[in-house]
Amino acid sequence: MKLDKITQSKQQVALLDEHKHCVVYENQHYLWLQFGEVIQSLMLKRKPERLCLLYQQMLAVVHIHFSPKKILECGLGGGNINRFLSYKYPQVTIRSVEPMVELIDCYQQYFNPLKSSITIEVNHAEMVVNHTENSSLDWLILDIYLAGSDDENTAQFYNEDFLQMAANKLIKNAWLSINLPDINGPDLLDLLRSLRKIFSDNIWIAKVPDCKNIIVHALKSNEANQPNSQKGFITNRLWQQFKQII
């Protein structure tokens, strides 16, 4: 079922931020968090651990290749990724970072039906990543809403120094996963060039159908090339196009 049909009938539950048009809605089956016209999080009430949004499914897809033990998630939103991974891997250690106190309160009140106790830090992603111990994570997830999100803010945040710092926090054969909600072609190429310097060709990229999101996964490995069986988990057409023009 398409998203517009799922959310067609709705009632407002809470207004988190009038200026950013950040609203919580619900209907009989779903509860969701919406920024303006964009649905950021969607929770199926009877199965809150399910990932209902395609971009979040694509962001979390690398979990099929390993059993994560220590994860840093930057960007809590409605807690979809955290709920999914906590359900899938009960022994995993997940730390979520979210700068908006209103969103954390929203998660606890509306998007945590099982009242799970999770570690949430009120802070900015760059600060937390910087202070994380080197070689301590096996998955770093960057699903960040940048205030006034535009291409310039995205390009400034995902600069080469930050990406190198992020890579330093990963153990060998660990993953960096990034959701880019809106980025133009030139800035995306710059980001991919920076990632290639750090991760060689161990990068996968795909555009999420019917929306502006682009998902990037990078594997920290000493090997320049991985077996084809591992490379085939996600559409990498955009990455192949990128390699042809650099």
pLDDT of residue 237: 58
φ, ψ (nearest 5 deg) of residue 79: 80, 15
Question: What is the rounded distance in angstroms from the CA atom of residue 50 to the CA atom of residue 54?
Answer: 11
Task: Give the 3-state DSSP-derived string for 164-230, with helices as H, strands as E and coil as C.
Answer: HHHHHCEEEEEEEEEEECCCCHHHHHHHHHHHHHHHCCCEEEEECCCCCCEEEEEEECCCCCCCHHH
- Per CATH, domain 47-245 is 3.40.50.150: yes
Both structure tokens of 94? 């997940």
In the chain (246 residues long), the average pLDDT of successive 10-residue segments reads 87 86 94 91 96 95 92 95 94 94 94 90 95 97 70 74 97 95 87 93 89 92 53 50 52
Length of the chain: 246
Both structure tokens of 97? 């970072």
pLDDT of residue 155: 65
pLDDT of residue 105: 93
pLDDT of residue 230: 44
Domains of the chain, by residue range, sit at 47-245
pLDDT of residue 149: 46
